[in-house]
Structures are given as C-alpha cells and as structure tokens.
Amino acid sequence: MVPWRLAFSDGDPPGWMAVYFLIDAIFLIDIVFTFFTSYTDDITQNEVTDKKSIAINYLKGWFWFDILSVIPIDYILALD
C-alpha cells in the first residue's frame, strides 16, 4: 500500500491516516506478543517455553523484518 500511495497519491484524508496508524499499532503489539509465544525446536522437536530462549530465537529470525515493516516511512517522507 505504501508504494502505491507514494507513487500515485498527493495525500490521504485524515481518516485514512488514523487507519494506517491503527494498523501499525496493532502490528507493534503483535511483535511484543511474539516475544511470549513458544516455538518448536528444529532439532529436538520439543516446544520451547523459556522466555529468554524465545526472545533470542525471535531476535535471530523474523524480528528485524517485523520491526522494519512498522517504521512509518510515509511519515518520515512527509517531513520534507
């Protein structure tokens, strides 16, 4: 959605900006919840419930993609 808006839209109505902010906020909450979600160890096939191990596993994997997707690029570009 962001590339389309950046390429073809002059601006968004205020209501849409609130929707975009809400979606980003919900996804940020999901990122926090992922730090408390167990995962299955690839080697032992056991469920890992230790909070430290979950955090390390998430930080080594999808965390960086998730956090990059929450960065409000449209707000940053609007600062010009």
- Which residues are CB-contacts of 2 (< 8 A; sequence separation ≥ 6)? 73, 74
**Could you tell me the pLDDT band of residue 80, with boundaries at 50, 70 and 90?**
low
- Would you state the pLDDT for residue 2? 66
Task: Report pLDDT digits (tens) over 5-56.
Answer: 777 777 767 787 788 889 889 999 999 999 999 999 999 999 999 999 999 9
Every domain of the chain and the residues it spans: 2-78
